[in-house]
Chains A and B, each alone.
Chain A
Amino acid sequence: MRQILQIFLLQFDMINDCKDLHVLAVDDSNIDRKVIQRLLQISSFKVTVVESGSRALQYLGLDEDKNSDRFDNSSTLREIPVVIMSSENSLTRIDRCLEEGAEDYLLKPVKLSDVTRLKNSILKSGSGEITGIQTNKRKHKRDQSPLPTSIDCHTPPPASPQHSLEKRARL
């Protein structure tokens, strides 16, 4: 079954300003792409929108066809937080996604308040780096905290490393 991925990818810059947060949103629906792009833009994110999981991986520089070692060893990309966007309101699905390491699970249709809430939690999580000099300690802390990306699963998330990005759950 086709896996439809919606991924937000947030690159968390050392300058903790929302304008530097870059989100990669993935959705196979052109309507939803337009809406999510606008929702994120209006919330001051930088946005890139793609239509499929494979396009998303391409954008991230990960080709599914290439050596999967490269994929597994990509620790930076592993740190990218994932936010799920789905119309499925199922506790088992939601729990599963969060257990697999998703930052959050947004129920569709996504509202402005959902994105605002997400933004606030991201900004809060990086509060150690808002001002001040970069220290090794802070940098280490940043490396440990995964940033949200968003995945819309119409089928249960596959266990295969090819499609899932390993994330530590931060609940």
Chain B
Amino acid sequence: MDTVSQLQRQFVEYTASLYREGYLDDQFTQLQKLQDESNPDFVVEVVSLFFEDSEKLLNNLTTALHQENIDYKQVDAHVHQFKGSSSSIGAQRVKDMCVVFRNYCDEKNLDGCVVCLQQAKNEYILVRNKLEALFNLEQQILQAGGSVPMMV
């Protein structure tokens, strides 16, 4: 099997595993539908925005939860934003963690919030690594002269 086919198979299997393990959901597929020759880097662009946004949000959340008097409304606003952006790109596990996080905000449960923040960070780092690996595979396929299989 030549390099391109090998890489393509790797790509397909890796993508399938990301969906199977719940890292990505249908919304990621939706994003891929929006990519074409006129917008060939759409998915990478949106995901990059997500990475930037998430890192800011996680920093803001860390700061907010270290205040002497915690403003849970503010914390909730950040989590809501994080939930929205993760939902928009299909980062399912991050989104699900945000749902739990918001419940703790509602209860003004600091311990719960702190644990959720850590878990949200972990899930974010996981999905970021996986998406970066996925994009890397795409690049390898393209550089080897192949085309990236459509997962739609």
A contact set with B: CB distance below 8 Å: 29-32, 34-35, 38-39, 42, 87, 108-109, 111-112, 154
Interface of chain B: mostly helix, strand, loop or mixed:
helix
Find the residue from A35, A39, A42, A87 having the highest chain B CB count within 10 A: A35
Q: What's the nearest-Cβ distance from chain A to residue B53, in Å?
A: 6
Which of B1-9, B77-85, B123-131, B137-145 is found at the contact surface with chain A?
B77-85
Query: In the complex the two chains form, is A29's CB within 8 Å of B46's CB?
Result: no
B60 within 8 A of A: no
- Bound-state Cα–Cα, A111 to B25, Å: 12
Query: In the complex the two chains form, is B46's CB within 8 Å of A109's CB?
Result: no
Task: State the interface size on chain B (CB cutoff 8 A).
Answer: 22
Residue pairs across A and B with CB atoms within 8 Å: the count is: 49
Contact of A112 among B34, B87, B88 (CB under 8 A): B34
Find the residue from B42, B49, B81 having the highest chain A CB count within 10 A: B49
B45 within 8 A of A: yes
Query: In the complex the two chains form, is B46's CB within 8 Å of A34's CB?
Result: yes
B10 within 8 A of A: no
Find the residue from B30, B45, B53, B88 having the highest chain A CB count within 10 A: B88
Contact of A35 among B36, B53, B80, B88 (CB under 8 A): B88
List the A residue with the shortest CB-CB distance to B89: A31
Query: In the complex the two chains form, is B84's CB within 8 Å of A87's CB?
Result: yes
List the A residue with the shortest CB-CB distance to B30: A111
Q: What's the nearest-Cβ distance from chain A to residue B125, in Å?
A: 18
**B63-83 near A? 1/0 per residue, CB < 8 Å:** 000000000000000001101
